[in-house]
Structure 1
Amino acid sequence: MNAVPDALPRTAGALRAAGYEPRPIAQEIHDNLLTALKNGEDAWPGIVGFSRTVLPQLERALLAGHDVVLLGERGQGKTRLLRTLAGLLDEWTPVIEGSELGEHPLQPITPASIRRAAELGADLPVAWRHRSERYTEKLATPDTSVGDLIGDVDPVKVAEGRSLGDPETIHFGLVPRAHRGIVAINELPDLAERIQVALLNVMEERDIQVRGYTLRLPLDVLLVATANPEDYTNRGRIITPLKDRFGAEIRTHYPLDVEAEVAVVKQEANLVAEVGEPLLEVLARFVRNLRESTVIDQRSGVSARFAVAAAETVAAAALRRAALTGEEPAVARPVDLDAVPSVLRGKIEFEPGEEGREIEHLVHLMRRAIAETARARFAGLDLRPLADAVEEGHLVATGERVPAKDVLAALPELPVLHEVASRAGVAADEPAGRIAAAVELALESLFLARRLAKDSDDATTVYGR
């Protein structure tokens, strides 16, 4: 966040002279989104796979000024999408300096700020708030109270001598403090129904009620929320009156194609070693196979975080192997995919009756993903010379203690190996690890096509006749 520009007005009088008129939050987002669309700018940086589905619906909702709830299974990027909304706000917005709710200097709403504005007039001091400070996020938990969201009577202020009915005895909660900003509530159904009721007035009448008396505050907030589909979550539901007050209910989804899945992994994963495009594609297909499998509980979903964690696990396996063999740089090979099923099986839920067979199912789906990726990468390429070379006695060993140069040295010079590397996006002069990764993928595809045998123990895998 940059420092506040010196040229911005510092008093209410200077602010009025400069033409900074109050603008509702919905209108501010409307104007900035419309400008971005007209100028061809990316209003949703970092959001992958939603450009033709979710984003058009969300843009229409925002242009209409609606509060929004996003419905979708875990790991579909709902929270990530909501956080990008802050980018549609003005970079800097004026507030009354020292005001509890960040009120506009020309439009105070609390008794204390109204009194200050009347006393100081044009000399009312102005501070500036960055758009990142105007996005407020709350994870709905069962112990969330009305006081947390809306506010409660502050006993300290009462003890100071104010009467209980004095509006200035209120300690404001999260929603009023987000005045002139965005409030995001994650997992809205987790809020107890009596707590959801407290949001009704905020969304419709834009005021708040605390402890039996109403404080008429013309709050200006955009309320957005996320939720799992009601047919999945057993923790709660969005009460009907609250659901009715959301202007738009938008369904999110997992990436619709392999390319989008790979793009998400590239964007989100923190890889400690190099993982080539073919292996990322294997992991993307593996996750998609999981989402289509009948042995996986599809009501809970298979999060995009699973693919990210899988890529990070493969990279870590490659780094460990490089440390054991002294190989540089550390490059992931298909042998490193073996680490994924055992490490990540706890991140997904299986259907009842599949206990004890989890690893078996995951290994099967991983092999299918490898076969699909190899079929796509090596389509039309005759791998018979490679299979013949192995059958003639050029056995190829790989494993966590086998360096890439040994994998390549086990095979004779074959023109097909150059084509295999090329299909995997690897040039002939690149490090041995990258070439070996492509060759291992071809060998594994031959094994899965039952054209080669594979013998494995704890540390070594041998492709042979």
Structure 2
Amino acid sequence: MSPATPPPPPSDLPTTRAALRASGHVHRSVAAEVRDNLLRRMGAGRPRFPGLHGFDATVLPQVERALIAGHDIVLLGERGQGKSRLIRTLAGLLDEWSPAVAGCPVNDHPFAPVCPGCRARAEREGDALPVVWRHREDRYGEKLATPDTGVGELIGDVDPARLAEGRSLGDPETIHYGLVPRANRGVFCVNELPDLPARAQVALFNVLEERDLQIRGYTLRLPLDLLLVASANPEDYTSRGRIVTPLKDRFGAQVRTHYPLALDDELALVRQEAVLPEGTTVPAHLLEAVARFTRLVRASRKVDGRSGVSVRFSVAAAETVAASALRRAALTGEDVPVARVSDLPAVVEPLLGKVEFELEAEGREAEILHVLLRRAVAETFRARLGEADLSPVADRFAGGGSVETGDLVAAAELLRRVGAVPGLAALIESAAPEAEDGPPTQGLAAAVVEFALEGLYLERRLSKDAVPDGGVYRF
């Protein structure tokens, strides 16, 4: 996301058109500016699209080719595939500072003003024309398309106040510019393009092709210079009832996005996006279980694949697991909240609203997610502790003993109930290799022990009896 307040411009930048010309500044189109900066970063091996994972070999090469070609782009993908994040990174390919005519509503370049007001000022003031500098973050605009979005909001409308001043209806000075012309010489994004009303979609025709504006029967020749990027759901975009077909032809490039193809990319996104309470730890094996859970839900035949399962699903799950650990710490007096397997079931109910199920699953939605969650934990157990020697843990129950655990059992109490676990350090290294140097905390040790118990149960080497808020492991 763009910062709320861009930094102030350096004090040594030119403030008049004469000084700008003397500085050697060269006027470039937005397409040329983006292309030059993109190629420069590619040549230097610098990141071009920070914060994105899993698109390097699929989506990003297509986007780079479109930008190099100077094309407007439409990104097609289901919800939560990172379309908006990708679009917002495009502002980073603009020059850090760009000159504009001071007071211009459409950010005209001092060397090539296009709006009638600035052309008149340029003739009148000449090289004394004042110049302001805009940060790249100020040159990014975004609109979430909704059915009530009007042409006036997007393109512009006649300003009645200026008509009241005595100007004629055909005077260009009576026009109040909308969001698109105000994004001139920058990047503008229309999110969920098919949700635009047909009239607003038609209004974009001339902007994309002829680069002029048509407002209430008045055509204003305004050669806008901008990169227009849109996002859309594939099903809506390919339906002739949701998108005006000629508009699709105006976009130079269409790029399909996708959910993370690899588990590592899913994990990287969870770690990047999840905002966990300060001081709360969600060990690596639990984050992996959350990521696997998301992927299993996404692949399930009982889930409507057309609506998708957003990355926000896994992010919300990780945050809920951390919240459950913090709740336990507050109720039991634990010093360091560490999430455990017993915190995972708490994610199911809150996440139901993020999944669209097929009709055959009606009434069994929570049950389906619980089954998939257990599968995710089992897969994670096999990946992290499948080769570990857990016979000492299983032998603990051979004599008929049992251990009760749950989301309100403190770490110290769980470790006391289990007793000494030979080889615990090696188990922690396998399950949570990112743990800090030094002896593991009680919370981390309890998290790994509980993970081992649940894995043994899922592998049918232990049994488990359900009790309120937890379970009892026995042989």
For the aligned pair, the TM-score class normalised by the smaller chain equals over 0.9
Within a 5 Å distance, the mapping from 1:150-189 to structure 2 comes to: 150-189=155-194
What is the rounded CA distance, in whole Å, between the counterparts of 1:404 and 1:228 in structure 2? 45
- The change in CA–CA distance for 1:176 and 1:428 in structure 2 (over 3 A counts) is closer
1:341 is the counterpart of 2:348: yes
1:247 is the counterpart of 2:252: yes
Within the candidate set 324, 333, 338, 2:331 is matched to: 324
Within the candidate set 447, 453, 459, 1:449 is matched to: 459
Deviations 1:335-373 (A, max 9, x none): 000101122112101100312111111110000000000
Within the candidate set 359, 365, 388, 1:381 is matched to: 388
1:439 aligned residue: 449
How far residue 428 of structure 1 moved from its aligned partner, in angstroms, is 7.3
How far residue 228 of structure 1 moved from its aligned partner, in angstroms, is 0.2
Instruction: Please state whether the residue corresponding to 1:391 is helix, strand or coil.
Output: coil
- The change in CA–CA distance for 1:232 and 1:450 in structure 2 (over 3 A counts) is farther
1:135 is the counterpart of 2:140: yes
Deviations 1:151-210 (A, max 9, x none): 111111111111111111111111111110111000000011221111011101111111
What is the rounded CA distance, in whole Å, between the counterparts of 1:162 and 1:401 in structure 2? 73
1:360 aligned residue: 367
Within the candidate set 38, 56, 60, 2:61 is matched to: 56
Instruction: Please state whether the residue corresponding to 2:138 is helix, strand or coil.
Output: helix
Deviations 1:37-75 (A, max 9, x none): 001110111111111111111011000000000000000
Amino acid at match of 1:343: P
2:407 aligned residue: 400
Within the candidate set 42, 46, 50, 1:41 is matched to: 46
Within a 5 Å distance, the mapping from 1:145-224 to structure 2 comes to: 145-224=150-229
What is the rounded CA distance, in whole Å, between the counterparts of 1:414 and 1:87 in structure 2? 52
1:306 is the counterpart of 2:313: yes
446-455 or 304-313, which deviates more: 446-455
1:232, 1:300 within 8 Å by CA — same for their partners in 2? no
- The change in CA–CA distance for 1:234 and 1:356 in structure 2 (over 3 A counts) is farther
2:236, 2:242 within 8 Å by CA — same for their partners in 1? no
Deviations 1:268-288 (A, max 9, x none): 111112111100000000000
Amino acid at match of 1:444: E
Instruction: Please state whether the residue corresponding to 1:353 is helix, strand or coil.
Output: helix
Deviations 1:109-129 (A, max 9, x none): 111111111111111111111
1:109 aligned residue: 114
1:260 aligned residue: 265
Q: Structure 1: give runs of 5+ residues left out of the alignment.
A: none
1:429 is the counterpart of 2:434: no
1:190, 1:235 within 8 Å by CA — same for their partners in 2? no
1:462 is the counterpart of 2:448: no
1:103, 1:179 within 8 Å by CA — same for their partners in 2? yes
2:3 aligned residue: none
1:350 is the counterpart of 2:357: yes
TM-score normalised to structure 2 length? 0.95
Instruction: Please state whether the residue corresponding to 2:261 is helix, strand or coil.
Output: coil
1:324, 1:400 within 8 Å by CA — same for their partners in 2? no
How far residue 246 of structure 1 moved from its aligned partner, in angstroms, is 0.6
1:99 aligned residue: 104
1:118 aligned residue: 123
What is the rounded CA distance, in whole Å, between the counterparts of 2:446 and 2:42 in structure 1? 46
2:78, 2:258 within 8 Å by CA — same for their partners in 1? yes
What is the rounded CA distance, in whole Å, between the counterparts of 2:393 and 2:316 in structure 1? 33
Deviations 1:213-251 (A, max 9, x none): 211011101110000012699795222211011111000
Deviations 1:314-344 (A, max 9, x none): 0000000111111121000000001011221
1:400, 1:459 within 8 Å by CA — same for their partners in 2? yes
Instruction: Please state whether the residue corresponding to 2:113 is helix, strand or coil.
Output: coil
What is the rounded CA distance, in whole Å, between the counterparts of 1:448 and 1:40 in structure 2? 46
Amino acid at match of 1:226: S
Amino acid at match of 1:163: S
Within the candidate set 12, 16, 23, 1:11 is matched to: 16
What is the rounded CA distance, in whole Å, between the counterparts of 1:64 and 1:174 in structure 2? 25
- The change in CA–CA distance for 1:444 and 1:319 in structure 2 (over 3 A counts) is same
How far residue 142 of structure 1 moved from its aligned partner, in angstroms, is 0.3
1:74 is the counterpart of 2:79: yes
What is the rounded CA distance, in whole Å, between the counterparts of 1:235 and 1:356 in structure 2? 34
132-141 or 347-356, which deviates more: 347-356
- The change in CA–CA distance for 1:234 and 1:65 in structure 2 (over 3 A counts) is closer
What is the rounded CA distance, in whole Å, between the counterparts of 1:154 and 1:333 in structure 2? 60
1:100, 1:177 within 8 Å by CA — same for their partners in 2? yes
What is the rounded CA distance, in whole Å, between the counterparts of 1:192 and 1:279 in structure 2? 44
Instruction: Please state whether the residue corresponding to 1:104 is helix, strand or coil.
Output: coil
1:410 is the counterpart of 2:401: no
Aligned-pair RMSD on alpha carbons?
Answer: 1.5
TM-score normalised to structure 1 length? 0.97
Q: Structure 2: give runs of 5+ residues left out of the alignment.
A: 1-5
- The change in CA–CA distance for 1:408 and 1:393 in structure 2 (over 3 A counts) is farther
Instruction: Please state whether the residue corresponding to 2:323 is helix, strand or coil.
Output: helix
